[in-house]
């Protein structure tokens, strides 16, 4: 089970540790495990060879020969997180080994049963999620070295080579860049509780700097990830079986349920970072966007979801600033919102390059396999990606406060 997180009462100061959020790494799992107990060697042997097995069309055969293993020897939370990542990665490779045109419709019981059990223990869905691909999937080459691309490596991989490595590790750096912003949220909520304008101003200034650092970290995507490889090779292994024309009825988890189950693929919306910033800044999105964003919270570790819910229940920063009237805090609040608008604009440009433009090039080259054409204008989470991101950005712009308000 994930360590239990109590929902905070509004009069109790917010703290990151209560929600298993690291003061050093934020939502990233600190120092993730790289191996499971020997009992689970059959899983690890497959997971560590995924790119080779998928590219040589051998993974499905290995999965069919995989023994059904008992999950009771996964005794720690960190072991369960690694097990979830391993089983999720094997599942994605198994389903999509032959491309979008020939997805597997049934997950064998030797994979489905333990995957669902580990997922239930963690409060996560049985599919690859952001907490697998990114939060649990990093290690330092030199443990004492810095958290930067040259000193980082993934634990589990898919086809895609250096571009896949770059995609995962740049996202790790985005999560790390958010850490000062998360600390600023806690400082800001306490400042509101204590009616301390000076402390609130300091927190808002720190939040703005953190959002700007996130944008700079995201910019490294262009240095490490080839758009055509992302679109034509990597993307399908992040795709799910909900709102996906390639798998309209979902996936049967053999030995778990007789009817197919539907789960969304990986999505940046499964990161808790921007959810947290939106909650703190009081940014309200349109009904359709809120529906998707809140559904994505079910794909987060439950303690991270609880953090977002308690941020939402906490006293309103916007109301506090409006009540306080024009001044430095209102200006600093608007600068945070402006930085968030810039981040969301930059994210739209990244998505346009890596999905929309790459899809156009794939069409012009006549690629029909394995490129996921049924998902051309959709994110791997199943949304009509550009219209969703533009709507989210527009609602962020609308959150700016008029100094005379």
Strand stretches in 14-155, DSSP E: 106-107, 139-140, 152-153
DSSP state of 31: S
Strand (E) or helix (H) holding 274: helix 272-281
Enumerate the known binding-site residues for heme b: 347
Integer Rg of the chain from CA:
21
Phi first, then psi, for residue 394 (nearest 5°) are -60, -40
Alpha-helical segments (H) within 123-226: 130, 161-177, 179-194, 197-219, 221-224
Is the Cβ–Cβ distance between 332 and 321 less than 8 Å? no
Q: What is the C-alpha separation between 187 and 206, in angstroms, rounded?
A: 10
Where on the phi/psi map is residue 195: left (φ > 0), alpha (ψ -120 to 50), or beta? left
Q: Which two structure tokens, joined as six digits, stand for 22?
A: 């690291």
Q: Which two structure tokens, joined as six digits, stand for 365?
A: 């080259």
Nearest to 30 by CA among 165, 175, 130, 127: 175
Enumerate the known binding-site residues: 347
Q: What is the C-alpha separation between 403 and 177, in angstroms, rounded?
A: 30
CA distances from 262 to 102, 243, 244, 381 (A): 17, 8, 9, 12
Parallel, antiparallel, or unpaired for β 106-107 and 252-253? parallel
Is the Cβ–Cβ distance between 51 and 59 less than 8 Å? no
Q: What is the C-alpha separation between 19 and 14, in angstroms, rounded?
A: 9
Contacts of 52 (CB under 8 A, 6+ apart): 58
Q: What is the C-alpha separation between 361 and 322, in angstroms, rounded?
A: 49
Q: What is the C-alpha separation between 122 and 62, in angstroms, rounded?
A: 26
Q: What is the C-alpha separation between 157 and 390, in angstroms, rounded?
A: 31
DSSP-based three-state secondary structure for 384: strand
Q: Count CA within 13 A, CB hemisphere, residue 126.
A: 24
């Amino acid at each position: 089970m994930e360590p239990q997180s109590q929902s905070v009462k509004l009069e109790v100061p917010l703290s990151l540790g209560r929600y298993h959020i690291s003061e050093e790494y934020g939502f990233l799992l600190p120092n993730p495990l790289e191996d499971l107990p020997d009992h689970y060697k059959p899983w690890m042997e497959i997971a560590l060879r995924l790119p080779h097995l998928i590219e040589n069309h051998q993974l499905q055969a290995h999965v069919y020969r995989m023994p059904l293993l008992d999950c009771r020897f996964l005794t720690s939370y960190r072991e369960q997180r690694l097990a979830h990542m391993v089983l999720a990665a094997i599942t994605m490779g198994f389903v999509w080994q032959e491309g979008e045109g020939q997805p597997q419709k049934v997950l064998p019981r030797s994979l489905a049963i333990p995957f669902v059990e580990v997922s239930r223990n963690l409060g996560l869905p049985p599919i690859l999620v952001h907490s697998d691909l990114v939060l649990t999937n990093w290690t330092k080459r030199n443990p004492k070295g810095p958290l930067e691309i040259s000193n980082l490596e993934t634990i589990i991989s898919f086809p895609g080579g250096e571009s896949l490595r770059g995609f995962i590790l740049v996202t790790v750096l985005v999560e790390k860049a958010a850490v000062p912003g998360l600390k600023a949220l806690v400082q800001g909520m306490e400042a509101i509780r204590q009616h301390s304008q000076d402390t609130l101003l300091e927190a808002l200034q720190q939040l703005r700097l953190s959002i700007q650092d996130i944008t700079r970290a995201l910019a490294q995507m262009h240095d490490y990830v080839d758009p055509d490889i992302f679109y034509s090779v990597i993307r399908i292994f992040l795709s799910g079986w909900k709102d996906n024309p390639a798998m309209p009825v979902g996936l049967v988890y053999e030995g778990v349920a007789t009817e197919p189950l539907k789960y969304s693929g990986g999505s940046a919306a499964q990161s808790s970072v921007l959810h947290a910033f939106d909650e703190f800044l009081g940014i309200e999105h349109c009904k359709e966007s809120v529906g998707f964003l809140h559904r994505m919270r079910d794909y987060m570790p439950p303690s991270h979801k609880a953090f977002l819910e308690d941020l939402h229940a906490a006293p309103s920063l916007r109301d506090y600033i409006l009540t306080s009237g024009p001044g430095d805090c209102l200006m600093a609040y608007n600068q945070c919102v402006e930085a968030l608008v810039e981040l969301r604009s930059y994210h739209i440009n990244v998505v346009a390059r890596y999905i929309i433009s790459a899809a156009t090039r794939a069409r012009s080259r006549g690629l029909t396999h394995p490129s996921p054409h049924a998902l051309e204008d959709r994110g791997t989470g199943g949304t009509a990606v550009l219209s969703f991101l533009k709507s989210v950005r527009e609602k962020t712009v609308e959150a700016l406060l008029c100094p005379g308000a």
